[in-house]
């Protein structure tokens, strides 16, 4: 995995990350069978898998926060192609949606930087589980004007402006920055996004949370690239989302795969492996095996030693790889 000049000792071997759970009014109280977690206070809506506050749960870096690890040696984690001093580029979450989320919009890079943030928030959703007739709101209906959006906010009729998509297990939805969107009840989603937690709420069903109407209208775009993404089937993997900021793939695994067989065409970089089902084990010379199961995630640094991924039974393996937009160096 490592390129010339990078350390390849076991300090940068693959490591498991412990999830950090975020309370949300629209979430669930019991996250079984995904996680051994029951809410003690407010419902839990999100399991953050790669947040700055997440803790390394195995290996030589065990016990460290992810943000501290990125500060320690960003090149060993991200590879030489990554922009300097950029921290963690991606935030990966599992969303547990029991009630409607707010109707919201995220800023693009330019708007985020205008207000002092490092980056905007483009994201995609992989549907892990969906009840019958589950839906998401993804963009505005064709022909809707910004004045109609403003009127919808003021008169509690904004839902009528939204483009609704029915979703089933395995669907992928791209939500680029500027897309007005929401998630309806009955879905569990794997969300991959730029590492930015900036959300502007347009409408929240009277739940008393802060709204950000002025900024949401500034961020919103009448037309975006958002929508369902058709998977691209290859011999050894399925490309779920090939975007400007991230690549999301479902990896075919019959028994085991070596790191050499998983390499892309570019320089070595960070990879995240997520178990959407079943269980897996990552092994290699010089480091202890790393096991993870449904809902678990493992980071494979750019400077990782060679490794193999083994299917321990029923594995559905998702790989997420950061991408660097042109001119970000």
Residue 152 CB contacts under 8 Å (≥ 6 apart), including other chains: 158, 159, 160, 161, 203
Q: What confidence category does residue 4 fall into, taking pLDDT thresholds of 50, 70 and 90?
A: very low
Residue 164 sits in the same domain as residue 311: no
Residue 292 within any structural domain of the chain: yes
Residue 256 sits in the same domain as residue 223: no
Highest mean pLDDT among 56-60, 69-73, 320-324: 56-60
- Separation in Å, CA 162 to CA 79, 108, 133, 138, 182: 40, 20, 17, 7, 9
Separation of first and last alpha carbons in the chain: 22
Residue 212 sits in the same domain as residue 244: no
Q: How far apart (Å, rounded) are the C-alpha atoms in residues 24 and 104?
A: 15
* Overall domain count for the chain: 2
Per-residue pLDDT, 266: 63
Tell me, rounded to whole angstroms, the distance of Cα 135 from its chain centroid.
19
Q: What confidence category does residue 87 fall into, taking pLDDT thresholds of 50, 70 and 90?
A: confident
Among 228, 248, 275, give the residue marking a domain's end: 228
Q: pTM for the full model?
A: 0.94
Q: 270-309: per-residue pLDDT in tens?
A: 999 999 999 999 999 999 999 999 999 999 999 999 999 9
Specify whether 201 is catalytic: yes
Residue 46 sits in the same domain as residue 110: yes
Q: What confidence category does residue 83 fall into, taking pLDDT thresholds of 50, 70 and 90?
A: confident
Residue 215 within any structural domain of the chain: yes
Q: Could you tell me the CATH number of the domain that includes residue 194?
A: 2.60.120.10
Q: 219-272: per-residue pLDDT in tens?
A: 999 999 999 999 999 999 999 999 999 999 999 998 999 999 998 766 679 999
Residue 47 sits in the same domain as residue 183: yes
Residue 66 within any structural domain of the chain: no
Residue 243 within any structural domain of the chain: yes
Full domain range(s) for residue 212: 20-53+90-228
Among 180, 211, 228, give the residue marking a domain's end: 228
Residue 288 sits in the same domain as residue 186: no
- Read off the tokens for 84: 């300097």
Residue 304 pairs with which residues in a beta bridge? none
Residue 78 within any structural domain of the chain: no
Q: 178-224: per-residue pLDDT in tens?
A: 999 999 999 999 999 999 989 999 999 999 999 999 999 999 999 99
Residue 197 within any structural domain of the chain: yes
Among 228, 254, 286, give the residue marking a domain's end: 228
Residue 6 within any structural domain of the chain: no
| Count of CB atoms situated within 10 Å of the CB of 255 | 8
Q: How far apart (Å, rounded) are the C-alpha atoms in residues 245 and 247?
A: 7
Residue 217 sits in the same domain as residue 115: yes
Residue 1 has pLDDT above 70, yes or no: no
Residue 159 sits in the same domain as residue 26: yes
Backbone angles phi, psi at 148, to 5 degrees: -65, -35
Q: How far apart (Å, rounded) are the C-alpha atoms in residues 308 and 88?
A: 24
Backbone angles phi, psi at 247, to 5 degrees: -120, 125
Backbone angles phi, psi at 12, to 5 degrees: -115, 30
Residue 139 has pLDDT above 90, yes or no: yes
The percent of residues above 70 in pLDDT, for the chain, comes to 94
Residue 145 sits in the same domain as residue 182: yes
Residue 222 sits in the same domain as residue 133: yes
Average pLDDT of every residue of the chain: 93
Residue 328 has pLDDT above 90, yes or no: no
Residue 123 CB contacts under 8 Å (≥ 6 apart), including other chains: 106, 175, 191, 192, 193, 194
**pLDDT, mean of residues 94-122:** 96
Of the candidates 201, 250, 257, 319, the residue annotated as catalytic is: 201
The candidate with the shortest Cα–Cα distance to 55, out of 100, 21, 90, 96, is: 21
Residue 256 sits in the same domain as residue 220: no
Q: What confidence category does residue 86 fall into, taking pLDDT thresholds of 50, 70 and 90?
A: low
Per-residue pLDDT, 207: 93
Residue 15 within any structural domain of the chain: no
Could you tell me where the DSSP H helices lie in the chain?
66-72, 74-78, 109-114, 146-155, 213-219, 259-262
Residue 154 sits in the same domain as residue 288: no
Question: CB burial class (10 A; 0-12, 13-18, 19+) of residue 83?
Answer: middle
């Amino acid at each position: 995995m490592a390129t010339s000049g990078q350390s390849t000792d076991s300090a940068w071997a693959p490591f498991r990350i412990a999830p950090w759970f975020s309370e949300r009014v629209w979430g669930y109280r019991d996250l079984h069978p995904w996680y051994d977690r029951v809410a003690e206070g407010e419902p839990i809506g999100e399991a953050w898998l790669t947040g700055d506050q997440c803790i390394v749960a195995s290996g030589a870096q065990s016990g460290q926060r992810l943000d501290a690890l990125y500060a320690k040696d960003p090149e060993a984690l991200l590879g030489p192609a990554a922009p300097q001093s950029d921290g963690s580029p991606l935030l990966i979450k599992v969303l547990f949606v029991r009630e409607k989320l707010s109707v919201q919009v995220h800023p693009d890079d330019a708007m985020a930087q205008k207000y002092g943030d490092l980056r905007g928030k483009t994201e995609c959703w992989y549907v892990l589980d969906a009840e019958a007739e589950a839906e998401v709101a993804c963009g505005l209906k064709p022909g809707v004007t910004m004045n109609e959006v403003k009127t919808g906010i003021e008169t509690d009729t904004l839902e009528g402006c939204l483009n609704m998509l029915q979703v089933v297990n395995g669907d992928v939805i791209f939500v680029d920055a500027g897309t007005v969107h929401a998630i309806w009840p009955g879905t569990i989603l794997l969300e991959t996004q730029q590492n930015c937690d900036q959300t502007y709420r347009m409408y929240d069903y009277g739940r008393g949370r802060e709204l950000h109407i002025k900024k949401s209208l500034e961020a919103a775009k009448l037309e975006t690239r958002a929508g369902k993404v058709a998977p691209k089937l290859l011999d050894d993997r399925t490309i779920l989302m090939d975007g400007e900021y991230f690549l999301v793939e479902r990896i075919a695994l019959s028994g085991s795969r070596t790191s050499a067989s998983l390499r892309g065409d570019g320089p070595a970089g960070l990879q995240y492996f997520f178990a959407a089902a079943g269980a897996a084990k990552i092994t290699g010379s010089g480091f202890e095996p790393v096991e993870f199961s449904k809902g678990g995630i493992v980071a494979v640094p750019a400077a990782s030693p060679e490794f193999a991924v083994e299917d321990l039974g029923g594995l559905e393996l998702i790989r997420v790889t950061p991408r660097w937009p042109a001119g970000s160096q």
